[in-house]
Amino acid sequence: MSDQGAAADTWATAAPPTCYRHTDRESYIRCQRCDRTICPECQTPASVGVHCPECVREANRSRPQTRTVLGGAVPSGDGALVTKALIGLCVLSYFLSEYVQPGLGRDLEMIGYALTNSGEIVGIADGEYWRLVTPVLLHGSLIHLLVNMLSLWFLGPFLEQALGRGRFVTLFVVGAIGGSALSYALGTPNIPSVGASGAVFALVGALIPIYRRLNLNVMPVLVMIVINAIFGFSVPNIDWRAHLGGLITGAVLGLAFAYAPRERRTLVHVGAVVVVLVVIAVVVVARTNALTA
């Protein structure tokens, strides 16, 4: 009798098993891979039993990443995350430059070569090369902002998912630079230009080869280009040069992204971006030399 009583006392005082991540939670369920006890919050259903968070992460790391036909990694979660971030950044920059710090735009707008009221030289030709990129954050009016952001919202998610986030951001940024470069090369050097139109037109330009590669109807894209070309050449104060520069840049990158051989895809993609940037640099240097000679 005494031996039975001692065993009962031991059973009664033994601590119940708890989740290894939440030690205050009692649990009797174990991970099928590592055998650790896990509470309901930490359980991920598997084909057999459940897995703990660490085992799930390890399995995800070892699993081959799914890629699109164009080689982009399939985005996990929100497929329009980068598009939303770019829209948010542009909207925030607009309100900052318009209502919080109105003089900010003068330091960021695309301008080639000009004198300030105090006689100071400003512009890309004076070495302010950031002005090739930063105009994408500025817009001349609320309508201008809304048109570009709506265009980005309609075009961005498809391209972001087709290309992957890295290639999509590259297309947007390099397209913006290409648009600014042509505006700088052909435009009046002391007239500023702002807006994300160059980057948006890069997306449009990339859609043509990408649609052809995916056997999609390119006619809506061509109609969009024609309509925007009519507006660009007929409506005053629209920088058609930035539109054209972005369109050409996007078409070249889109061609490389869409038709690169699978076994040399990364090499071709990176090479295309480098070549485009070198061409842009040559255009910028030539224009700078012409303005400062």
Fold of 81-292: Rhomboid-like fold (1.20.1540)
Catalytic residue numbers read 197, 243
Please give the average per-residue pLDDT across 269-293, as a whole number.
93
Please spell the DSSP secondary structure of 212-243, one letter per residue: HHTT---HHHHHHHHHHHHHHHHSTT--HHHH
Residue 73 DSSP symbol: B
Spell out the domain ranges in the chain. Answer: 17-62, 81-292
pLDDT tens sequence across 38-72: 898 888 888 778 898 888 888 777 665 566 667 66
78 pLDDT above the threshold of 70? no
Percentage of the chain lying above the pLDDT 90 cut: 30
- Burial track 234-247 (b if 16+ CB lie within 10 A, e otherwise): eeeebbbbbbbbbb
